[in-house]
Amino acid sequence: MAEDASARINLREVPSTDIPTRRYGLVGDEVLILDNTIGKDGQNWYKVKFPVSGAVGWIRNDFVQLK
């Protein structure tokens, strides 16, 4: 979870920080979890969809709070 309420959360095409980002979400945006995997960085990544914008991509687990 990001501590800055105005922070942007990078939405990635693949579960890796090696690729530049083209989209982002905002802290507090709700997402639908579509998939998850362990990236080559050893971190758990979630493939998510933002219902409002329709954007789909990968976010590292430390930026997602499960309810």
CATH of residue 20's domain is: 2.30.30
Please give the Cα distance from 67 to 59 (Å, whole number).
16
Instruction: Decide if 29 is inside a domain.
Output: yes
The tokens for 30 are: 């709700």
Instruction: Decide if 3 is inside a domain.
Output: no
Share of the chain above pLDDT 70, in %: 91
pLDDT band at residue 58 under the 50/70/90 scheme:
very high
Q: What is the per-residue pLDDT for 63?
A: 86
Angle at 39 between CA 23 and CA 46, to 5 degrees: 50
Q: What is the per-residue pLDDT for 22?
A: 82
Q: Which domain holds residue 27?
A: 8-63
Instruction: Decide if 31 is inside a domain.
Output: yes
Q: What is the per-residue pLDDT for 1?
A: 47
Give the number of domains in the chain.
Answer: 1
Q: What is the per-residue pLDDT for 3?
A: 60
Averaged confidence pLDDT in the chain: 87
Instruction: Decide if 1 is inside a domain.
Output: no
Instruction: Decide if 2 is inside a domain.
Output: no
Q: What is the mean pLDDT of residues 31-51?
A: 94
